[in-house]
């Protein structure tokens, strides 16, 4: 069974802290994504990666960075967390074979106080 694992389900961080959200997939997928989910806004793409050490900005990259040092792992970094980054963060992955299903993790709930 396919698996996208987000290491932290619930986090509470202080304003200004550096935050790491980790995501691991076990399907040997080339593509990995970070989305942010907010009520009434659906899912918005923050960053995505098509290969190791490769990254591209999504629709709302401001305030975020990412790291992909290994194929199976894609990290989202909040350099200096702010209260408006309180949200649900979803990691996803897919094969590079076109039209493949995108598989999602269970999400990380981040609260910045």
Q: Assess 53 for contact with another protein (CB under 8 A).
A: no
Shorter beta-carbon distance to another protein: residue 15 or 91: 91
**Least separation in angstroms between CB 113 and another protein:** 21
Contact between residue 71 and residue 52 where contact means Cβ atoms under 8 Å apart: yes
What's the min distance (Å) between Cβ of 93 and another protein?
11
Applying CB under 8 A, does 2 fall inside the site for another protein?
no
Stretch that binds another protein, among 20-28, 64-72, 73-81, 104-112 (CB under 8 A): 104-112
Query: Which is nearer to another protein, 19 or 91 (by Cβ)?
Result: 91
Dist. CA 80–CA 47, nearest whole Å: 17
Q: Residues 7 to 46: which contact another protein by CB under 8 A?
A: 30-31, 33, 35, 40-45
Burial 23-45 (b: 16+ CB within 10 A, else e): bbbeeebbbbbbbbeeeeeeeeb
Q: Where are the beta strands (DSSP E) in the chain?
A: 4-6, 10-13, 19-25, 31-38, 42-49, 56-57, 65-70, 73-78, 87-94, 103-104, 108-112
For 23, the 3-state DSSP assignment is: strand
Binding site for another protein (CB under 8 A): 4, 30-31, 33, 35, 40-45, 48, 50, 58-59, 90, 92, 94, 96, 98-99, 101-107
């Amino acid at each position: 069974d396919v698996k996208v694992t987000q290491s932290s389900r619930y986090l509470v961080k202080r304003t200004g802290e550096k935050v790491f959200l980790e995501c691991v997939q076990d399907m040997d997928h080339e593509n990995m994504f970070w989305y942010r989910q907010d009520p009434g806004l659906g899912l918005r793409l923050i960053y995505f990666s098509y290969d190791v050490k490769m990254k591209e900005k999504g629709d709302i990259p401001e305030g975020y960075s990412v790291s992909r040092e290994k194929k199976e792992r894609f990290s989202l970094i909040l350099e200096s967390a702010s209260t408006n980054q309180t949200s649900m963060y979803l990691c996803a992955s897919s094969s590079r074979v076109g039209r493949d299903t995108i598989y999602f993790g269970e999400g990380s709930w981040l609260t910045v106080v």
